[in-house]
Amino acid sequence: MATAGTGTRKAQGERTHAAILESAVHIASAEGLEGLTIGRLAAELEMSKSGLFAHFGSKEELQLATIDAARSIFIRDVMRPAMEVPAGIARLWKLCDTWLGHVEAEVFRGGCFFAAVAAEFDSRPGPVRDRIADIMKEWLGMLRLTIAEAQEAGHLASTADPEQMAFEFNALELGANWSMQLHGYSQAFTRARDAILQRLQTCATTKGASLLPRGNKLAAKKRLKRIKGKPCAGDP
Amino acid sequence: MATAGTGTRKAQGERTHAAILESAVHIASAEGLEGLTIGRLAAELEMSKSGLFAHFGSKEELQLATIDAARSIFIRDVMRPAMEVPAGIARLWKLCDTWLGHVEAEVFRGGCFFAAVAAEFDSRPGPVRDRIADIMKEWLGMLRLTIAEAQEAGHLASTADPEQMAFEFNALELGANWSMQLHGYSQAFTRARDAILQRLQTCATTKGASLLPRGNKLAAKKRLKRIKGKPCAGDP
DNA sequence: CCTACCGATCGGTAGG
DNA sequence: CCTACCGATCGGTAGG
């Protein structure tokens, strides 16, 4: 698909479209996809309601487009950087650490975009809810796959359960976001990192443990005391 | 404070007030405290908007009263039952297990009332947000205290960090609620229980471990393999 | 507790 | 991309 020249009417339309979605993602992360009203968005962008409306055709289409824009940012800022690290426990740690860093850096005003909109739409059936659920399944699948790869690489004990670990890591990430947003508890990110790192160290093989970061004080202390060959926490 | 007779006008007013709040808690857990509109609530109770409105004086007062009603239910259904168990690791497990059971039983249509409204209001400063945050601090404080008591009773290693554990257990509980609400993933509650029980067993003293439930297959298997005297996961 | 209203804002449309 | 609308619904009020 050819890109239109920067001076054409079409190119201008695409710039406006992109500017709308950038504002929309920020508003929706803080005020929800219903709080994202067309009038408010138009005011922020200094254009008329109907002018903005013409880009989407319905509020639902605007919501879906906003969700996809947030997904693209998440892939670019969290998933892609992890993919540049070799598969295994290092990539797994990178994925969790970057996710927490992404929320910690307040890329979106309301913290984690998907935590916010999932809570908002979990009781509202329809295409918007379905799209959010699909993206969250995609994320959990990616996390589970990354855990399974670390296991196949011999970095995690063969008895570890990737589904269980993915559930726990996702919960810790949601919990950190929740604490930060509600209480401004910025330590939450350290708490979540400590919990994840601890869980990884408990399950790691000797080879796997050597690939985990050394900076963490807790981590270093723990590793010294680690008892090899004990069962992995949470195994079936 | 004397209670009015059941036939008096005041008593009727109190019954109506209570009926409004019961509906309000259910609606708000599913559709949020903004989705809780006065018109919708009045329709559900088959009364006029203004008749209902007269009970509260403003939407904000209705929201605050709804939050306090949900808090009372939480205290009655989760905190009080745990208080009937002796302080220590047994009470701690009871508190976590009952919390998960409360959400699992879908006492409220939208799952955990406070998870829903906290996410909704975390970006909206004001008395409503402050009240939600205070109640969540109260809950986290209760959880942390219960952990500290288990430690003082010699059921948990003295090196355990109650603040860290409270953060993790709260996250697992929020994560279970989130998975259930968004994906209908009913296994989430078992996942959360397994994670919490595993964490408790890792940190428990021999005495503490003997007070944990025996029913769990994972738990029983784990306990056999447990290596005594190793450091507690997540210790500082 | 009611009927009858109010101004503001919502998503959306007509017509250009 | 605009102005000028529409019906519906919101929180809230007057007056009883």
Contact A195 B133 (CB under 8 A): no
Q: pLDDT of A183-227, one tens digit each?
A: 999 999 999 999 999 999 999 999 999 999 975 544 444 444 444
Nucleotide nearest to B60 (CA to C1'): D11
Nucleotides in chain C near protein beta carbons (<7 Å)? 1-5, 9-15
Tokens of A6: 């920067």
**Cβ-defined contact of A133 to B183 (cutoff 8 Å):** yes
A170 CB-side CA count, 13 A: 26
- Predicted local distance difference test score (pLDDT) of residue A7: 61
Q: Residues 20-39, chain A: which have Cβ within 8 Å of B?
A: 30-32, 34
Nearest by Cα to A158 from A169, A143, A147: A147
Q: In 10 A of CB A90, how many CB atoms?
A: 18
The answer to whether A121 and A42 are in contact (CB under 8 A) is no
Question: Rounded to whole angstroms, how far apart are CA atoms A101 and A93?
Answer: 12
Residue A118's closest chain B neighbor by CA? B182
pLDDT in tens, A137-156: 999 999 999 999 999 999 99
Phi-psi region of A4 (alpha: psi -120 to 50; beta: other; left: phi over 0): beta
* pLDDT score at A28: 93
Q: What is the full DSSP assignment across A34-68?
A: HH--HHHHHHHTTS-HHHHHTTTSSHHHHHHHHHH
**Which of B27, B31, B122, B221 is the best substitution to test chain A (most A C-beta atoms within 10 A)?**
B122
Contact list in A for residue B115 (CB cut-off 8 A) is: 119, 178
Angle at the Cα of B216 (from B212 to B217), degrees rounded to 5?
130
- Does residue B124 sit at the A interface (CB-CB below 8 Å)? yes
The overall average pLDDT reported for chain A is 88
| A25 interaction partners in chain B (CB closer than 8 Å) | none
**Rounded mean pLDDT, B209-217:** 78
Residue to mutate among A103, A163, A165, A167, with most B CBs inside 10 A, is A167
**pTM (2 d.p.):** 0.89
Nearest residue to B115 (alpha-carbon basis) of B98, B126, B102, B97:
B102
Best CA proximity match to A139, nearest among A68, A75, A67 = A75
Give how far A93 is from chain B: nearest CA, Å. Answer: 17
Best probe of the A interface among B128, B174, B189, by most A CBs < 10 A, is B174
A48: pLDDT confidence band, cut at 50, 70 and 90?
confident
Question: Tokens 């069962």 appear where?
Answer: A231
Element (H, E) at A209: helix A206-209
Which residues are bridge partners to A204 per DSSP? A156
Q: How far is CA A176 from CA A102, A148, A210, B170, in A?
A: 12, 24, 26, 10
- CB contacts < 8 A, A to B, total 145
Q: What is the dihedral of CA A225, A226, A231, A235, to 10 degrees?
A: 110
The total number of residues written for chain B in this structure: 236
Say how far apart CA B191 and CA A234 lie, in whole Å: 9
pLDDT value at residue B223: 40
Give the bridge partners for A156, in sequence order. Answer: A204
Tokens of B150: 């288990």
Q: Which nucleotides of D are covered by protein (CB under 7 A)?
A: 1-5, 9-15
Contact B114, B28 (CB under 8 A): no
**CB of B119 within 8 A of CB of B54?**
no
Nucleotide D12: closest residue by CA–C1':
B58
Q: Which one, of A114, A106, A159, A153, lies nearest residue A133 by Cα?
A: A114
Tell if the CB–CB gap between B195 and A123 is shorter than 8 Å: no
8 Å CB contact between B127 and B60: yes
Task: Judge contact between B114 and A114, C-beta under 8 A.
Answer: no
Average pLDDT, chain B: 88
d(CA A174, CA A49): 34
- Determine the protein residue whose CA lies at the shortest distance from the C1' of C10: A37
> For position B9, what pLDDT does the model report?
62
pLDDT for B114-134, tens place per residue?
Answer: 999 999 999 999 999 999 999
For the CA of A124 and the C1' of C16, the distance in angstroms is 37
Q: What is the mean pLDDT of residues A11-33?
A: 87
Which residues from B are below 8 Å from A136, CB to CB? 182-183
Question: A170 and chain B: CB distance < 8 Å anywhere?
Answer: yes
Quick one: what percent of chain A has pLDDT higher than 70?
Answer: 86
Helix, strand, coil fractions of chain B, as percent rounded to 5: 70, 0, 30
Distance CA A56 to C1' D1 in A: 14
Please report, rounded to whole angstroms, the spatial distance between the CA atom of protein residue A50 and the C1' atom of nucleotide C10: 13
pLDDT, tens digit, 9 for 90 and up, residues A57-114: 899 999 999 999 999 999 999 999 999 999 999 999 999 999 999 999 988 888 999 9
Mean pLDDT on B32-56: 90
Q: Which residues touch strand C (CB under 7 A)?
A: A 36-40, 49-50, 53, 57-60; B 12-13, 16, 47-52, 54-55
C-alpha closest to that of B232 among A48, A218, A93? A218
* Beta carbons within 10 angstroms of residue A72's beta carbon: 12
Q: Residue B163: what are its φ and ψ, rounded to 5°?
A: -60, -45
CB A85 within 8 A of CB A91: yes
C-alpha torsion B92→A115→B38→B5, nearest 10: 0
